[in-house]
Structure 1
Amino acid sequence: MLRQVTRVLSRPLLSNRSCVRTFSTDVPATPSPDTAFIESWKKVIPNIEPPKTPSSFMGPRPPIPSTIPSKITVNFVLPYASELATKEVDMVIIPATTGQMGVLPGHVPTIAELKPGILSVHEGNDVTKYFLSSGFAFVHANSVADIVAVEAVPVDRIDPSLVQKGLAEFTQKLSSASTDLEKAEAQIGVDVHSALNSALSG
């Protein structure tokens, strides 16, 4: 039954080129209802509401300005909270896997994987620092940066003594690990606590 539903629903979507969406930082995303999908769904399963699709949650992107703005707009979110929403700042420095990456207004469109490290948000003379565990940063052509982290905490809330204790514990676990899983888990602990330690000492 599920295969039949999938086949029926996929036919009009694949044949109707108007349903193909362009995802680009150069084109503002304008959400519109997936009418072909919804109509097909209602024909096959009229008693169940159609599921939401990604376009249902997409908001329109600001247009690309003709000149480089003086500020970059930052959205910084976690799975359970929004730390910064449409915050205009001078610069952000993100801990990309390729190294520290400074993002200023007019930055080229970029997708960067994040590693454990410091996210610095610069607003005039004020600098707010967060320690990130991992995630991704999406820098758009319209000087908007979306930073999505798995976990984050302001640096000033980190207890240095607990970081040292955790680093010692995971280092001990790594040296005594006997299986690949134990080694991998211990190595992650060492990497995160080492990054925490560097963030606090730097």
Structure 2
Amino acid sequence: MFRQASRLLSRSVAVASSKSVTSRAFSTELPSTLDSTFVEAWKKVAPNMDPPQTPSSFMKPRPSTPSSIPTKLTVNFVLPYASELSGKEVDMVIIPASTGQMGVLPGHVPTIAELKPGIMSVHEGTDVKKYFVSSGFAFLHANSVADIIAIEAVPLEQIDPSQVQKGLAEFTQKLASATTDLEKAEAQIGVEVHSAINAALSG
């Protein structure tokens, strides 16, 4: 029985490996029109209703990847309630990725990076703009476009160091006196965020 199973398994693996694998296009390269098969199926079920719009219908396709590396990095930096940077051309961005500080230059390999509490700096010539970000994600595209989405972000110069020290002391005390898992988790987050802000200001 085991010999037969192993032969069948090896045969299925060989068949699967012999099939050609087609690469799937990135979502930003997909056409914005609805799939014709879906539209036809929809009309059969609900002929009196227009087909629903999908997210791709509202997306503008990304420009094609240039043959040469651009001299500038295009940055879109957005928050849930505001857009900090839109189509800003800069020389470099340094983001606080969960794996460590990540420098992003034009021509960076496509990457999705999770952000941790820390400093994000935007470099444009000799001008450097620094933000403290709480968390989020950075989407680095092959066409030298960086989409950075943060939950909270504050320009570093707007942060009061005395308030940071006060908040760090309060959350440290809450962590020491916490009795439930929820209280400990909330206090730990407060300590980590305020510690990151304090390190950024002192650094």
User: Normalising by structure 1, what TM-score?
Assistant: 0.82
Q: Which amino acid aligns with 1:172?
A: Q
Task: Return closer, same or farther for 1:23/1:76 CA change in 2, 3 Å cut-off.
Answer: farther
- Is the CA contact (8 Å cut-off) linking 1:29 and 1:58 kept in structure 2? no
Over 3 Å counting, the alpha-carbon distance change for 1:49 and 1:157 in structure 2 is farther
Segment drifting more, 43-52 vs 185-194: 43-52
The corresponding residue for 1:180 is 181
**Structure-2 separation of matches of 1:79 and 1:38:** 33
- 1:120-166 Cα offsets, whole Å, 9 max, x none, are 00000000011100000011111111101111111111111111111
In the TM superposition, residue 81 of structure 1 has moved relative to its aligned partner by: 1.2
- Displacement of 1:57 after TM fit? 2.5
Partner of 2:7: none
1:43: how far off? 4.7
Partner of residue 82, structure 2: 81
Q: How does 1:159-174 map onto structure 2 within 5 Å?
A: 159-174=160-175
Deviations 1:71-96 (A, max 9, x none): 01111111111111111100000000
Structure 2 residue 87 is the aligned partner of structure 1 residue 62? no
Structure 1 residues 69 and 45: alpha-carbon distance in aligned structure 2, compared to 1, 3 A threshold:
same
Aligned to 2:113: 112
Identity of aligned pairs, percent? 75
CA distance in 1, matches of 2:73, 2:153: 21
Q: Deviation digits for residues 83-125 of structure 1, max 9, x if unmatched? A: 1111110000000000000000111111100000111000000
Q: Which amino acid aligns with 2:64?
A: P
Distance in 2 of aligned mates of 1:150 and 1:110 = 19
User: Shift of residue 41 of structure 1?
Assistant: 4.5
The 10-residue stretch of structure 1 (44-53 or 82-91) with the greater mean CA deviation from structure 2: 44-53
| C-alpha distance in 2 between matches for 1:147 and 1:54 | 19
Moved more, 54-63 or 90-99: 54-63
2:26 aligns with: 24
Take 1:84 and 1:30, find their aligned partners in 2: how far apart are those partners? Answer: 26
RMSD: 2.1
TM-score w.r.t. the length of structure 2 is 0.81
Q: Distance in 2 between matches of 1:124 and 1:183?
A: 44
Instruction: Give the distance between the partners of 2:163 and 2:196, measured in 1 at CA.
Output: 13
Unaligned runs of 5+ in 2: 1-22
Change (3 A) 1:158 1:92: same
Distance across 1 between alignment mates of 2:39 and 2:190: 46
| Corresponding residue for residue 91 of structure 1 | 92
Higher alpha-carbon Rg: 2
